Structure 1
Amino acid sequence: MKKNTALFNILITFMLLSTCTLSFAEDSAPESEVAGDSTAIQNTTSEDNNSVDKVYIIPTPQASRISALENSLKIRRLTHQINILEANEEPFLTLYQPSLTSSTQGCTIILHSDNEHPDWPDAVAPLRNSLPKHSWCTISIEVPDITKRAEPVSTLIETKEESGPQILELPNQEMVFARIIATMNKAQNDGVEKFTFLGYKTGAAYALNFLANNQTTAEALMLIDIETPSTITNYNLAQQIRKVPQPILDYYVNSNAGSNQFATWRKQAANQRTEAIGDFIQLDSVPDRVTGKKSKQLLVQRVRGFLKQNTSQIDQRKTLPSVKKGLFYESP
């Protein structure tokens, strides 16, 4: 009897639990539907977030670099040097320094290296600030970046070594050439009659190639530690020197076998010029540096001396002022 009673109680308990479970499920159905709506909202939000994530902010390192330069010049109260010009409907920054003497020899157009700016401290700033003291105005031009941020650097270059000068095009060449021409036009409108070109590293490659293709635009060319963009070969760039008849200063750092070979190719190309109207002067900067003197000061001296000896100079000697004898002698 007790066993039957216990079995009956278990059966009743099981039926009650089943009824409760069914009732909970039924009562929870609307909540489940609501939960389903909430999930849909979350999914929509998630999709919206994904769409937001896909709007990437493209870094603009050159714009940031130029903005920082402008702020630096503002702090130093040098904003009067900034001159915004336009080439191919695109503005670009230049820094102008007038000659600080009574007689102006001409203007040196300066091109900085890749991922730098027109007042870069290594070589550009010392030269653009020092040459005006020696009768040369300077205009330093913003050069667009060759290597973009997060862009893989190509190490594959052509290895052909042609026997003669070739048509060579550098990255952003059309833009850089247009900026050089716009700068020269502005300077000519301001009364400048004579130009020289000075380039630093990849800026020197642009200066060389511009003068090779526009042979009557400048009196002299200065290559400061010239560097070849990765899209071309050192040999092909060196051959452009054959097209430049003007005096050339090739001041470079002989740091390894590659730079020495590149320098040899430039020297050979200079020797092959058939219509040279000036010397090719190649100087290794390493001996200058081991003297213990400041390399930037020596660089300025090299460039200044080259310009003085290889460009037509305006006679700057002034007549002596008339002397009043009363300042030195007693009146009779």
Structure 2
Amino acid sequence: MPRRTLTLATLALALLCTTAQAEDPPAGKGDAAPADGTGQPAEKPVERAPLDERSQEDAKALEQRLPQAEQQQLTAGSEPFLALWQPANVGTPNGVVILIPGDGETADWPRAIAPLRTKLPDVGWHTLSLTLPDPAGDEPPPRPADTPPPAASEGGTPAEPPKSESADPANPPPPPEQASTAEPSTDPAPPQPRAEERRKTQTERISARIQAAIGFARQQQATTIVLLGHGSGAWWAARFLTDTPSSGVENLVMVAAEVPAGYEPPLEELAPRLPQAVGDLYYQQAPTAAASALKRLQASKRVKHLDYVQVPLADWSASQDAKQEQLVRRVRGWLDSHLKGAAPKRPASSGATAPTPPAAPATPSI
């Protein structure tokens, strides 16, 4: 009797094991193991496009605020951008002034850019104001990806994250004094975006936009094209003319010129060497601006650039309207007197009017 009972128990146990194996499907070679304990494969994070640049957001705001007739959608390569067009209010225009704003400025920036783009048409000039990309290094980060929350355990509570080896009581982390004396890691650091590559890309983007603006100006049958840069926009204009000697632009105006952060060479090595006529307007009350302007003037004298003219701007008024009105008058004066290839031509000197020789005494009549 005991032997029969033992045999029946053995058969029942064998049948139970066979049934359990039949219920478990064989694992395929291509099946991925679930990432959590729910039995469902883990969801992949959703990849999202980067945020728009600040300059793009500013351009959208201008599109909502300004008349449609002033807006021009130009294309630099495959990249569209907003430009503001203002036709001259005369029958025979003098040409086109292309306005290049500085870093962080819009195509309708209230200082320098907006007053010039709206008031130069009254004295015979078309104006085309550009939108530049954000400064290199200011690109917005990509939108955060959607990551699934930690899976809940069977009891309804979130699953605990796996404990690291350092949290193991058997292997406590070393004390601070021991960690500081540890040998430095020889593992290579993760690659970082090269600043030089970012600057090169930024230069190519801005140059393409200036070139697109010149192409648009030529479509308007402009006889004269002037580049006018404000702040770091003056450096970008000078850099473009240096890199593009066949641009066909013969005149450059710089207003409160400065070098973009992280770029070189300085302006005294760029602007005075250009073959174009250069108007260098600067605020003489600012010590740094005056010192930089002096370096540019001295460099122009060393290379005997007779078409390099500096125009000091007074910063005496507390009214921004008065300052902008003064700027418009000074720019108009330079365009009227020193424009290359247009009459009247200024004397071939460093910008100062040659003194008038004294008149010969009259011959007394006999």
* 1:299 aligned residue: 327
CA 59–292 in structure 1, closer or farther in 2 if over 3 Å, else same:
closer
After superposition, residues 237-252 of structure 1 pair within 5 angstroms as 237-252=267-282
* Residue 88 of structure 2 is aligned to residue 99 of structure 1: yes
Q: Where does residue 252 of structure 2 map in the other structure?
A: 221
- TM-score between the two structures when normalised by the length of structure 1: 0.66
Give 1:309 shift: 0.3
Aligned-residue identity in percent: 26
- How do 1:12-51 and structure 2 match up within 5 A? 40=37, 51=45
Q: 1:251 to 1:63 in 2, by over 3 A?
A: same
Task: Provide Cα deviations, 1:96-151, integer angstroms capped at 9, x if missing partner.
Answer: 11111111111111101112211111110100111111111111111111151568
* Higher fraction of helix: 1
SS of residue in 2 equivalent to 1:187: helix
| Residue 68, structure 1, aligned to residue 96, structure 2 | no
The one-letter code of the counterpart of 1:301 is R
- Write the distance in 1 (CA, Å) between the matches of 2:321 and 2:108: 23
Taking the TM superposition and a 5 Å limit, the aligned residue runs for 1:1-332 are 40=37, 51=45, 58=51, 60-73=53-66, 78-147=67-136, 148=138, 172-215=202-245, 217-233=248-264, 236-254=266-284, 256-274=286-304, 276=305, 278-287=307-316, 289=317, 294-311=322-339, 312-313=341-342
**CA deviation vs aligned residue, 1:296-319 (integer Å, no higher than 9, x gap):** 10010000011000125579xxxx
Q: How many residues are matched?
A: 251
Q: Does the Cα contact within 8 Å between 1:85 and 1:92 map onto a contact in 2?
A: yes
Residues 170 and 138 of structure 1, relative CA distance in 2, 3 Å threshold:
farther
C-alpha RMSD of the superposition? 3.1
Q: What's 1:161 paired with? A: none
- Over 3 Å counting, the alpha-carbon distance change for 1:244 and 1:150 in structure 2 is same
CA contact (8 A) 2:83 2:130 kept: yes
What SS does the aligned partner of 2:209 have?
A: helix
Partner of 1:326: none
Q: Closer, same or farther in 2 for the Cα pair 1:57/1:232, shift >3 Å?
A: closer
Contact 2:107–2:131 under 8 Å retained in 1: yes
Q: Is this contact kept in 2: 1:114–1:203, CA < 8 A?
A: yes
Distance 1:215 1:123, change over 3 A: same
Counterpart of 1:286, as a letter, is: D
Structure 1 CA distance, aligned partners of 2:118 and 2:271? 28
Name the CA shift for 1:273/1:119 in 2 (closer, same or farther; >3 Å). same
Q: TM-score, normalised by structure 2?
A: 0.60
1: CA distance, partners of 2:306 / 2:287? 31
Asked if the contact 1:99/1:134 (under 8 Å) is kept, the reply is yes
Q: More displaced, 137-146 or 180-189?
A: 180-189
Contact 2:257 2:282 in 1 (8 A): yes
> Unpaired runs of 5+ in structure 2?
1-35, 142-194, 345-366
Note the C-alpha offset of 1:185. Answer: 1.7
Distance (Å, rounded) in 1 between the aligned partners of 2:241 and 2:311: 18
| Distance in 1 (alpha carbons) for counterparts of 2:219 and 2:71 | 17
